[in-house]
Amino acid sequence: MNEGASRARHVAIIMDGNGRWAKRHHVPRAMGHRRGVEAVRKLVRSVESMGLECLTLYAFSSENWKRPDEEVSDLMNLMRKFIKSDLPEFMANDVRLKIIGDWQGLAPDIVEMLEDALEQTAKGRHTLAVALNYGSQQEIARAASKAAGKGEITVESITAELDTAALPPLDLLIRTSGEVRLSNFLLWQCAYAEMLFVDTLWPDFEPEHLQTALDDFATRERRYGGR
Ligand code: FPP
């Protein structure tokens, strides 16, 4: 009997492989990111039917600023379009938007759009957490500093100050495109998360892939260091 197995509440995804997808299809890199947004859209639509409480997506890391200006600008424009076009759908589908990372450091018009989207979706039951200008080491340092300002530094006091404090504990981390590393994403939250690395490039990642991952998760026995 697999007593440790259970349904996943919170899944996070490192969406990798947009560039390789574009190369493989002989189209500009920007097209790979555009198809990546399509994959996000399809996935968000299926979150409710999969019974997930929270889906967290790594959309832009604090290290992604090192990419060429044109690519950064493409990604920011995709973000603008995504928020504008998908906000009504989030609201219709009971999706609550949450942003993690140092997102106040983004362009002022994006910050304004995000603030508006956060307010409008605040009552949604399913959370879509988007990591923007996010770095996990930076998040932990910020949290530790806040915890120290309030008293003793403990695992609990740091956890309570993380950007993810209001989200369910992370159950499963997925990375696409065959790379096996965390790239400064949810390092603290991954302490007891299950991990799945799949070869599929992000634009080809379909809701069926997530369903398969959730079915696989349900068979895993989680012991949290016990036996
Ligand atoms: C990694 O592919 C992907 C990113 C750096 C950005 C992910 C962003 C999106 C899917 C679009 C924006 C998301 C939202 C929520 C609107 P890569 O470019 O590193 O691919 P490569 O490793 O094959 O070059």
Amino acid (1-letter code) at residue 205: F
In a domain, 2, yes or no: no
Instruction: Assess whether the C-beta atom of 203 lies below 6 angstroms from ligand 1.
Output: no
Best probe residue, ligand 1, of 15, 82, 103 (max atoms within 8 Å of C-beta): 15
pLDDT of residue 5: 59
Is 64 assigned a catalytic role? yes
**Environment class of 122 (CB within 10 Å of its CB; exposed 0-12, middle 13-18, buried 19+):** exposed
Residue 4 forms part of a structural domain:
no
Grade residue 225 by pLDDT with cuts at 50, 70 and 90: confident
Residue 104 has pLDDT above 50, yes or no: yes
Whichever domain contains 167, its CATH number is: 3.40.1180.10
CA dist., res. 134 & res. 97, Å (int): 16
Domain containing residue 130: 10-217
Q: What is the pLDDT of residue 222?
A: 77
Is 79 contained in some domain?
yes
- CA of 21 from ligand 1 middle (Å) equals 10
In contact, 58 and 14? CB cutoff 8 Å: yes
Q: Residue 148 has what pLDDT?
A: 97
Q: What is the pLDDT of residue 1?
A: 35
Tell me, yes or no, whether 1 lies in a domain. no
36 in ligand 1 pocket by Cβ < 6 Å? yes
Q: Does the beta carbon of 19 sit less than 6 angstroms from any atom of ligand 1?
A: yes
Which residue, among 112, 113, 111, 121, has the nearest Cα to 88 in the 3D structure? 121
For residue 133, give both structure tokens. 């200008």
**112-119 average pLDDT score:** 97
Mean pLDDT, rounded, of the chain? 95
Does 227 map to a domain? no
